[in-house]
Amino acid sequence: MNEKVYIPPIKIQGIKTKLVPLIKDNVLLEKDTIWVEPFMGSGVVGFNIQPNKAIFADTNPHIINFYNSIKENHIDSYMVRNFLEIEGKKLEKKDDEYYYEVRERFNAYHSSLDFLFLNRCCFNGMIRFNKEYKFNVPYGHKPQRFSKAYITKIVNQVKYVEQMIHTSDWEFICQDFEDTIMSVSFQKAFIYCDPPYIGRYVDYYDSWDLKSEERLKELLAKNDNPFMLSTWDYNQYRKNEYIDTLWGFCRKINKEHFYFIGANETNRNQMMEALLVNYPLNMAQNYYSTINEQLKLCIN
Ligand SMILES: C[S@@+](CC[C@H](N)C(=O)[O-])C[C@H]1O[C@@H](n2cnc3c(N)ncnc32)[C@H](O)[C@@H]1O
């Protein structure tokens, strides 16, 4: 059966939409467990898990500001529709000139609505910042991007998350993964980690090296809570050696997944994804069948 996956309004490279069903089937979550996502990115994983209580964190302040703006009622789905209708018309008229005007405006004032606009009409829905903290993704060259149907789709994505945020106990925090993981050392939590893959995407908020990976492993290994780590296993050229070395104490679940990250075909490689967990997998299946009943929420 194909399970419906809710798609969030902000896109990001490395978004785990296709892995959501597999992740859902293998998490270890009880009613009073805090869902902790130190690398939230688009938030697609936690937003589909629908925990009662959650900490969503990321070092990218614009993602966190976007969701806090919804939480604090500074923006809502009505405002989003209005904004995209007006800005979409300007884009249609002035094309790339208008995209770069909004990009400049965003880099000066950091409005969450401008962030959403740019994210939905930039090249490939990417998020990338330079050393001066400036959003520098080029235009996606679709002046008619904000059609009525496309705006409605985005508005529905905002509505869903708005409803979840206002009926759950969810926090959005801009901080490094170390602070997030350490903050739940003495609480009952499930930690889902999806860090940048070493050497794949690098920008000001999104760089990752062996030292970061080692630190993550150290923190997760000494935290008593169950965790799941998303990482890559292999592609046709290389194998992720850290799975057997650094993460050798974990159990592994695999899934093939396509990444569309580049303009040219050679960058679009098939990648075997891995989920690593520190608990026996049969435990997850038992837990999930119970929790699944409690967490059902209608996704329209
Ligand atoms: C691969 S993306 C997460 C994708 C997300 N799971 C999804 O499906 O949309 C990695 C995220 O980690 C964030 N990040 C990078 N370094 C970080 C750090 N040191 N601490 C916390 N977040 C970090 C990036 O800003 C990015 O949003």
Q: Are residues 217 and 274 in the same domain?
A: yes
- The rounded percent of the chain whose pLDDT value lies above 90 is 75
Q: Cα–Cα distance between 216 and 299 in angstroms, integer?
A: 34
User: Which range marks the domain in which residue 47 is found?
Assistant: 17-60+172-295
Give the CATH number of the domain where residue 153 resides. Answer: 1.10.1020.10
For the cut 80, the answer to whether the pLDDT of residue 297 exceeds it is: no
Q: What is the DSSP letter of 13?
A: T
| 176 and 150 co-located in one domain | no
- Tell me, in angstroms, the distance from the centre of ligand 1 to residue 95's CA: 31
Burial class (CB in 10 A: 0-12, 13-18, 19+), 230: buried
**pLDDT at residue 156 tops 90:** yes
38 within ligand 1 shell (Cβ under 6 A): yes
**Considering only CA atoms, which of 74, 38, 44 is closest in space to residue 58?**
38
Q: Is the pLDDT of residue 10 over 60?
A: yes
Say which CATH number the domain at 283 has: 3.40.50.150
Residue 257 has pLDDT above 90, yes or no: no
If asked whether residues 44 and 185 sit together in one domain, one would say yes
Taking residues 250-268, what's their average pLDDT?
63
Q: Is residue 82 part of a domain?
A: yes
Nearest CA to ligand 1 atom 27: 41
Going from the Cα of 94 to the center of ligand 1, the distance in angstroms, rounded, reads 33
β-strands 227-235, 270-277 pairing? antiparallel
**In what helix (H) or strand (E) does residue 35 lie, and over which residues does it extend?**
strand 34-37
| pLDDT tens track for 199-248 | 665 666 777 889 999 999 999 999 999 999 999 998 888 899 999 999 99
Instruction: Determine the distance separating the centroid of ligand 1 and the alpha carbon of 132, expressed in angstroms.
Output: 19
Number of domains in the chain: 2
Closest residue CA from atom 24 of ligand 1: 206
41 Cβ below 6 A of ligand 1: yes
Q: pTM for this structure?
A: 0.91
187 and 252 both lie in a single domain: yes
Distance of alpha carbon 63 from alpha carbon 205, whole angstroms: 11
Shared-domain flag, residues 177 and 286 = yes
Which residue, judged by its Cα, is nearest atom 19 of ligand 1? Answer: 176
Residue with CA nearest ligand 1 atom 2: 41
Are residues 50 and 109 located together in one domain of the fold? no
C-alpha separations of 131 from 174, 205, 218, 273 in Å: 18, 9, 28, 30
By the 8 A CB rule, do 284 and 33 touch? no
- 191 and 278 within one domain: yes
Point out the domain boundary residue: 123, 157, 191. Answer: 157
The residue assigned the tokens 């990976």 is 213
Q: Tell me the pLDDT of the chain averaged across its residues.
A: 89
Give the model confidence (pLDDT) of 33-82 as tens digits: 999 999 999 999 999 999 999 999 999 999 999 999 999 999 999 999 99
Residues 82 and 212 reside in one and the same domain: no
pLDDT band at 292 (very low <50, low <70, confident <90, very high): very low
